[in-house]
Structures are given as C-alpha cells and as structure tokens.
C-alpha cells in the first residue's frame, strides 16, 4: 500500500511477543487546507499547498484555522522579507523551516489542533535601532545594490524605500527592482510613488510589496507609512494616520511617505498639491509628537525642522538630481541611528549612475524618468520606413526605424505646453530644439513631418549595437524628411532657421530629452 506523506500521519507501536515483532499502525487523515490570517504581513500568493507572506514589519503573526480538529492539519508557509539571522519562530505547532536570504523558503506547520499560531519575532536587543532610507531609484538598480551591500555589511534593523522604485510601473520594471532588493539580507519596507502607479502600476505594486499604508513597532519606536502617490491623501487615510499616531505611546515616532508636504527650494513647488491636506498633516505630525517624516519625490537631500518636526527628503537613489551639490543635489541614502534618547541622521553618498548607450533621460518641468530599451519596448511602438535629406540635398539614413513617439515619452513626465520648447541632447554635446507642434503636430504638420519618434532600432539592429542610436527620427508618410519639410516644420529660431538641413534634426546618440520653459 502506497501512502502520501502529506495525506496521512502514522503512530507506530512495536510489540514483541514470543520473539515475533508485531507492528501496529494508527493512521490519521489530513484535514482540508486552512484559512490563513495574517497580522503584520501581506499574502502575495496562495494555492492549495502553500501561502507566501511578505513581512511588513519586524513582527508577523500567521494563524492557520481549520474547520475542525479531526485528523492532522498540515500546511506550508513561505515568509519573505525577514532577517533570518535574528528572527525567532514561536509556535505550539510542529514547525520545520529552511532559511535562505530574507526568506524562510519552507515553513511546514503540522498540528492536530483546530488552529495554529506562528509568531515571527525579531527581538529588540540593547538600546540601539538603525535603519537606512532611500528614494527615487526609478529603475536604476545600482543605487539599490549599493545600499544592499552596505546593509549586508553593517546589518541595520531594516531598509526603507520612499517610492518611485520604477520608471512607470510595468511588471518587468517591478521584477528588476525585486531582483535587486533580493540581494539585501535585511528587511526592506516601502511605500508607493507616483511613477510606480502609472499605467496600472498600483496593482503591480500591491502584488509585489503589499499595501502602501501600514505601521509597525520595534523597541521604543513606532513607524507609520501612508500613501501620497497621487499628490493628495484620501480622507480615510488621514483618519487612519491620525488614529495610528495618537494611539501610539512609543518614545520615538517616524513617518514615511513619497511626496513631501513642502518643497524646501526657493520658488519651487514639487510637493503635495492640496494645501489643506498639507496643513492637516503638519498639524497631525506636531500634535502626535512625530520625530521625523521621511519622503522622496524631490531628487535631493534636505533636512529641515518645522514646528518641532524634522522633515527629511531623500530622493537621490538614482533619478536625475534637481539641485547643485551644495544645495543637496547628491546621490545618497540616509542612515538613522537611535541610541537611548539620542538620534543621529546623516546622508551617505552613493556613486553617480552612468547613462549607458541603451538608456535615455526624459525630463519634464517637474518630473523626470530614466528609461532603457526594455522600458521603451513596454510602450506603444511606432515603426516604419524613413530617411532624411542633408544640407547638400543628399538622402541619408534610409531604412526601417522602430521607436516610441516623443508625445508618449513626455506623457510620463507631465507633457509640455504650447509655449515650452523641447531640447534634445546627445552624448557628444550636440543638441536641437523643437517646438510643441513638432511633438504634438496638427494635421498640417503631421502630413509633412509625420510622427516624431525616439528610435532605438534601425533595420533590425538595436542599441547599443546600432551605432547611431538612440536617434530622433521623423516619420512622414512618403518615407522622406526633406529639407523643404524641415523648413516648413521649424518654428522661429529653431531647426532650419539655425542650420538649413533636415538631417540636423535627426539627432543621434540621444542622451537627454528635456522640456524647457520659455
């Protein structure tokens, strides 16, 4: 008779009589799969055999509840995002585990009771808490990898990412971030940024990281996280935050979100846009005794104190910087250490990211994003035959181009207005300016120049193998962008009026695309 290990449990009795061994087997059938209840974590996947729970704090309670106590209850739980070196597992059920990275890859629970509580605890030892905070990596994994290396060496209690983990919230982008974060051997908590929710990215964030509003305690500190990814805060979230902070009696209180309530730069306003919400939040922080609020969104480091509350902006994990180094424009993460009643907060510098040939920086008035070819492939693709005429009336560049319309790229960073100009710069220092009507052509200009695209592929060759890419290209319906076409679609002081050549508009080695206010 063949028995399945998970289906049956056996009690073996050995009786020896007159030199003969008699084996008696008492079998108990396995119960149906349990209901899984989680506190301090989020279920990222579940099937008939196992459940995967991502820890959203340093303590996680998982309760398995069966319909009755007849037979053996057995189930497999995979707990991720924990410090397997320091964690303790407390359960009255029989538990076996295998640790790997920041996961218990297998946590096999077996019990004859109607329910089983598994407690995952990281004990608070001594009087020190250390954590790292970073923000706005926006698809550049080098910054995350550097923070992970430091965390693996120095072993802080956890790392926190203040959002904008991705360029625009696509599944492949989230998988790249998850892969980079998997190199960190301490827990990484996060909240969602405005880039992360684009094009349906909010659902993908939830699947990979869980809710963006939650809280947890560790030692004498309370940590609260809430969602500002759309520039405002919902009323129910404000009510939750108020209750969470006022009911906490922790000695230290810290808050994490993506968008800051104010922009510390003179005459700049790249922060939450609802002034009423901002004032309410500041009052909540002051009234509940919050020690520090950590945000990203603005790509710099800033440490300000307003009405007794410290506001830390840490947006320097990889996205392009918004200020000079002396004004906080540095690539960095923040290290926070609490020793008894003392707190230290400081920026730790990161290496500056390099823009590879297969990457492009797109910068709007208040937003920017760095994209690689895989990111571009996730967008609507424009493809067709085209060519251009040089100043000597010779035709060049004949072939099939694949790329993304400039209008779609600018949609990622807030678009442009009629009075704005678009500056396209190459890695060799060359640049061209274009008008609103080149990017968003009316019927007349569209019939002459066609769509304006950023091409990453030419005749089947993709950058970096394509030596001239990334390249700006015009895609007229007749397949040729002539000098006459260039003259007819050049605004004053641009294009033909600066250098009379259609080819001069086909910028090669494109590195930066930037909206410039007039």
User: What pLDDT is stored for residue 103 in this prediction?
Assistant: 81
Question: Are 86 and 140 members of one domain?
Answer: no
For the cut 60, the answer to whether the pLDDT of residue 140 exceeds it is: yes
26 domain-assigned: no
Which range (1-5, 249-253, 297-301, 424-428) has the least confidence? Answer: 1-5
User: What pLDDT is stored for residue 74 in this prediction?
Assistant: 87
Q: What is the mean pLDDT of residues 293-318?
A: 97
SS3 177: helix
User: What pLDDT is stored for residue 29 in this prediction?
Assistant: 64
Listed residue (450, 395, 422) closest to 517, CA to CA: 422
For 65, the token pair is: 């509840």
Task: Assign residue 393 the CATH number of its domain.
Answer: 3.90.420.10
Q: What is the mean pLDDT of residues 166-191?
A: 95
> Between 275-287 and 235-247, two packed helices, what is the crossing angle to 10 degrees?
10
Question: Are 103 and 173 members of one domain?
Answer: no
Question: Are 420 and 305 members of one domain?
Answer: no
Question: Are 344 and 218 members of one domain?
Answer: yes
For the cut 90, the answer to whether the pLDDT of residue 162 exceeds it is: yes
19 domain-assigned: no
Last residue of a domain, one of 305, 324, 349: 349
Report which DSSP code applies to 267. Answer: T
At which residue do the structure tokens 């902070």 appear? 245
Task: Assign residue 40 the CATH number of its domain.
Answer: 2.60.40
Task: Assign residue 150 the CATH number of its domain.
Answer: 3.60.21.10
For the cut 80, the answer to whether the pLDDT of residue 30 exceeds it is: no
Residue 310: give the domain boundaries: 129-349
Please report which confidence band the pLDDT of residue 4 belongs to, taking 50, 70 and 90 as the band edges.
very low
Query: What is the pLDDT of the chain when averaged over all its residues?
Result: 91
107 domain-assigned: yes
For the cut 70, the answer to whether the pLDDT of residue 16 exceeds it is: no
- Condensed to tens digits (0 to 9), the pLDDT of residues 242-273 reads 999 999 999 999 999 999 999 999 988 999 99
Which range (18-27, 205-214, 284-293, 422-431) has the least confidence? Answer: 18-27
For the cut 50, the answer to whether the pLDDT of residue 20 exceeds it is: no
Question: Are 268 and 288 members of one domain?
Answer: yes
Please report which confidence band the pLDDT of residue 28 belongs to, taking 50, 70 and 90 as the band edges.
low
For the cut 70, the answer to whether the pLDDT of residue 26 exceeds it is: no
For the cut 70, the answer to whether the pLDDT of residue 18 exceeds it is: no
245 domain-assigned: yes
User: What pLDDT is stored for residue 71 in this prediction?
Assistant: 84
List Cα–Cα distances, 379 to 269, 367, 471, in angstroms.
29, 18, 17
For the cut 90, the answer to whether the pLDDT of residue 72 exceeds it is: no
Please report which confidence band the pLDDT of residue 12 belongs to, taking 50, 70 and 90 as the band edges.
very low
User: What pLDDT is stored for residue 258 in this prediction?
Assistant: 98
- Condensed to tens digits (0 to 9), the pLDDT of residues 372-408 reads 999 999 999 999 999 999 988 999 999 999 999 999 9
- The Cα–Cα gap between 339 and 129 comes to 7
226 domain-assigned: yes
Question: Are 168 and 206 members of one domain?
Answer: yes
162 domain-assigned: yes
Contact 218, 56 (CB under 8 A): no
Question: Are 86 and 169 members of one domain?
Answer: no
Query: What's the N-to-C CA distance of the chain in angstroms?
Result: 83
For the cut 70, the answer to whether the pLDDT of residue 230 exceeds it is: yes
Listed residue (261, 258, 254) closest to 290, CA to CA: 254
- The Cα–Cα gap between 325 and 341 comes to 32
70 domain-assigned: yes
- The Cα–Cα gap between 96 and 77 comes to 10
455 domain-assigned: yes
Question: Are 180 and 233 members of one domain?
Answer: yes
For the cut 90, the answer to whether the pLDDT of residue 301 exceeds it is: yes
Please report which confidence band the pLDDT of residue 31 belongs to, taking 50, 70 and 90 as the band edges.
confident
Query: For residue 143, how far is the Cα from the chain centroid?
Result: 12
For the cut 60, the answer to whether the pLDDT of residue 423 exceeds it is: yes
Question: Are 340 and 473 members of one domain?
Answer: no
Question: Are 87 and 204 members of one domain?
Answer: no
Last residue of a domain, one of 349, 377, 396: 349
- pLDDT over 90 percentage in the chain: 82
Could you give the number of structural domains in the chain? Answer: 3
Last residue of a domain, one of 349, 380, 398: 349
- Condensed to tens digits (0 to 9), the pLDDT of residues 438-494 reads 999 999 999 999 999 999 999 999 999 998 889 999 999 999 999 999 999 999 999
Question: Are 432 and 450 members of one domain?
Answer: yes
Question: Are 231 and 149 members of one domain?
Answer: yes
For the cut 60, the answer to whether the pLDDT of residue 17 exceeds it is: no
For the cut 80, the answer to whether the pLDDT of residue 3 exceeds it is: no
User: What pLDDT is stored for residue 27 in this prediction?
Assistant: 47
């Amino acid at each position: 008779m063949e028995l399945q290990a998970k289906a049956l449990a056996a009690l073996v009795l050995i009786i020896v009589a007159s030199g003969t061994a008699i084996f008696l087997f008492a079998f108990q059938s396995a119960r149906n799969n349990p209901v899984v209840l989680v506190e301090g974590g989020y279920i990222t996947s579940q099937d008939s055999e196992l459940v995967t729970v991502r820890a959203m704090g340093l303590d996680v309670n998982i309760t398995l509840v069966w319909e009755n106590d007849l037979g053996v209850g057995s189930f497999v739980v995979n707990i991720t995002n924990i410090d397997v070196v320091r964690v303790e597992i407390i359960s009255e059920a029989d538990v076996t585990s295998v640790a790997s990275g920041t996961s218990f890859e297998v946590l096999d629970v077996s019990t004859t009771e109607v329910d089983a509580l598994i407690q995952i605890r990281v004990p608070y030892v001594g009087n020190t808490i250390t954590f790292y905070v970073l923000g706005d990596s926006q698809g550049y994994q080098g910054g995350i990898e550097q923070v992970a290396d430091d965390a693996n060496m120095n072993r802080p209690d956890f790392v926190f990412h203040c959002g904008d983990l991705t360029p625009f919230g696509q599944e492949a982008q989230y998988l790249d971030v998850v892969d980079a974060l998997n190199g960190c051997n301490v827990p990484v908590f996060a909240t969602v940024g405005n880039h992360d929710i684009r094009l349906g990215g909010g659902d993908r964030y939830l699947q990979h990281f869980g809710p963006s509003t939650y809280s947890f305690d560790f030692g004498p500190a309370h940590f609260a996280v809430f969602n500002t990814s759309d520039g405002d805060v919902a009323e129910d979230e404000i009510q939750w935050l108020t209750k969470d902070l006022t009911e906490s009696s922790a000695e230290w209180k810290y808050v994490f979100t993506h968008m800051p309530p104010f922009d510390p730069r003179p005459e700049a306003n790249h922060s939450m846009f609802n002034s009423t919400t901002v004032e309410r939040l500041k009052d909540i922080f002051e009234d509940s005794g919050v020690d520090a609020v950590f945000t990203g969104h603005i790509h710099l480091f800033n440490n300000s104190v307003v009405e007794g509350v410290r506001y830390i902006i840490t947006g320097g994990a990889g996205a392009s910087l918004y200020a000079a180094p002396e004004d906080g424009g540095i690539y960095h993460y923040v290290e926070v250490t609490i020793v008894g009643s003392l707190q230290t907060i400081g920026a730790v510098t990161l290496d500056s990211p390099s823009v590879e040939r297969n990457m492009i920086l797109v910068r709007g008035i208040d937003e920017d994003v760095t994209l690689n070819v895989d990111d571009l492939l996730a967008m609507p693709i424009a493809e067709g035959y085209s060519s251009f005429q040089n100043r000597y009336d010779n035709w060049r560049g004949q072939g099939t181009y694949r790329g993304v319309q400039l209008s779609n790229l600018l949609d990622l960073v807030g678009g442009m207005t009629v009075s704005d100009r678009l500056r396209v710069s190459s890695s060799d220092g060359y640049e061209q300016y274009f008008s609103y009507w080149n990017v968003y052509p009316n019927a007349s200009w569209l019939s002459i120049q066609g769509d304006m695209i950023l091409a990453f592929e030419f005749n089947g060759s993709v950058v970096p193998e394509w030596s001239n890419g990334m390249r700006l290209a015009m895609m007229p319906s007749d397949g040729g962008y002539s000098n006459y076409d260039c003259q007819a679609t050049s605004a004053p002081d641009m294009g033909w009026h600066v250098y009379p050549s259609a080819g001069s508009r086909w910028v090669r080695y494109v590195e930066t695309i930037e909206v410039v206010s007039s």
